Amino acid sequence: MIQITLIQIDNYGPWTVTPGPRAEPDLQTLQSRLYGDLEREFGAHGGIVFFNRFDNLIAISNGMDYDDHKLIQDSIRNRYPITISMGVGSADTAYEAQKIATEMIQKGGGAQSASRCEVLNIDSLVDDDDSYVQIAHIDIDDVTGLLTDVETAFDTSIKVYEVLNALMVELSQIGGLCFFIGGDNYMAPSNNISDDILRDALERVDTKTGVRLKAGIGRSKTPAKAADMADIGLEDIRAGKVDDTVIIYDDRK
């Protein structure tokens, strides 16, 4: 089972324009610092956070309980001009788990409700013995040679975001999720998705966007370990240790 936490800033839209619009560089600094801090807070417990939309961040939180989440919520309140609500859900697939987590947040009140403040709704936590996380670290072959060193920076970005969009749609249709992690790299929480199904999905994106994708897939009890396994898989593909575009490493045995 995979456990996902949806982190939503309370009443952020109205706050950004009250009493008047706030300078955008300040909002960008606030949003990126909040993301960096949440990455540390979840990372200290073996979790991992993706920025998603910056006002709605998605974390994989296997192994973290109510108190772990509460400590983070309190710490953000003491250091930021905004507060955060969190919804936690567990399921067999990442898509399903984030669906439950979203419902937990929506149950606590709308994103712009002035009254909702620091909701912490947990549908269910994953038990230690059936805690299992699969993460695919997806990467474009030779983005440096094909794009970064030859095209304009923005044209390279258009292609990278086109691939991101295609991956988000493909993954969500097979129970997974996909997030941009910088450069030409994407991370896809993909519990219960076999390497074959994932390879097909990557190939469909290749066809649609004209790049060649590869992915290391990691399976472990905790999110950070799964990501580490996925990194190693990606390096082994790069090193030609395997003649495939996907490879799975599993440290749970």
Instruction: Give, as ranges, the residues between 115 and 144 that touch Ca ion (CB under 5 A).
Output: 139-140, 143
Q: Which residues contact 51 (CB under 8 A, 6 or more apart)?
A: 31, 35, 57, 179
**Residue 106 binds which entry of Ca ion, a second copy, ligand GTP, none, CB below 5-8 Å type-dependent:** a second copy
Binding test (CB under 6 A) with ligand GTP, winner from 55, 68, 96, 170: 55
Q: Which is nearer to ligand GTP, 168 or 181 (CB)?
A: 181
Q: Which of residues 126-145 bind ligand GTP (CB under 6 A)?
A: 139-145
Spell out the SS3 assignment of the chain. CEEEEEEEECCHHHHHCCCCCCCHHHHHHHHHHHHHHHHHHHHCCCCEEECCCCCEEEEECCCCCHHHHHHHHHHHHHHCCCCEEEEEEEECCHHHHHHHHHHHHHHHCCCCCCCCCCCEEECCCCCHHHCCEEEEEEEECCHHHHHHCCCCHHHHHHHHHHHHHHHHHHHHHCCCCCEEEECCEEEEECCCCCHHHHHHHHHHHHHHHCCCEEEEEEEECCHHHHHHHHHHHHHHHHCCCCCCCEEEEECCC
User: Is residue 124 a contact point for a second copy (CB under 8 A)?
Assistant: no
Q: Pattern 158-197, binding to ligand GTP, x per CB under 6 A?
A: -----------------------xxxxx------------
Site string for Ca ion, 12-41 (x = CB under 5 A): ------------------------------
Contacting residue, 184, 237, 245, 248, with Ca ion by CB under 5 A: 184
Q: Can residue 10 be called a binding residue for ligand GTP (CB under 6 A)?
A: no
55 binds Ca ion (CB under 5 A): no
Which residue number, 199 or 212, has a Cβ lying nearer to ligand GTP?
A: 212
**Stretch of 9-17, 43-51, 113-121, 202-210 lying at the interface with ligand GTP (CB under 6 A):** 9-17
227 lies in the binding site for a second copy (CB under 8 A) = yes
**Shortest spacing between CB 94 and ligand GTP, in angstroms:** 19
Does 206 bind ligand GTP (CB under 6 A)? Our answer is no
Q: Which of residues 213-252 bind ligand GTP (CB under 6 A)?
A: 231, 238
- Does residue 157 belong to the site contacting ligand GTP (CB under 6 A)? no
Beta bridge partners of 2: 91
Q: Which residue is nearest to ligand GTP (CB)?
A: 183
- Nearby residues of 178 by Cβ (< 8 Å), 6 or more positions away: 138, 164, 167, 168, 170, 171, 172, 186, 187, 188
Stretch that binds a second copy, among 123-131, 169-177, 200-208, 240-248 (CB under 8 A): 169-177
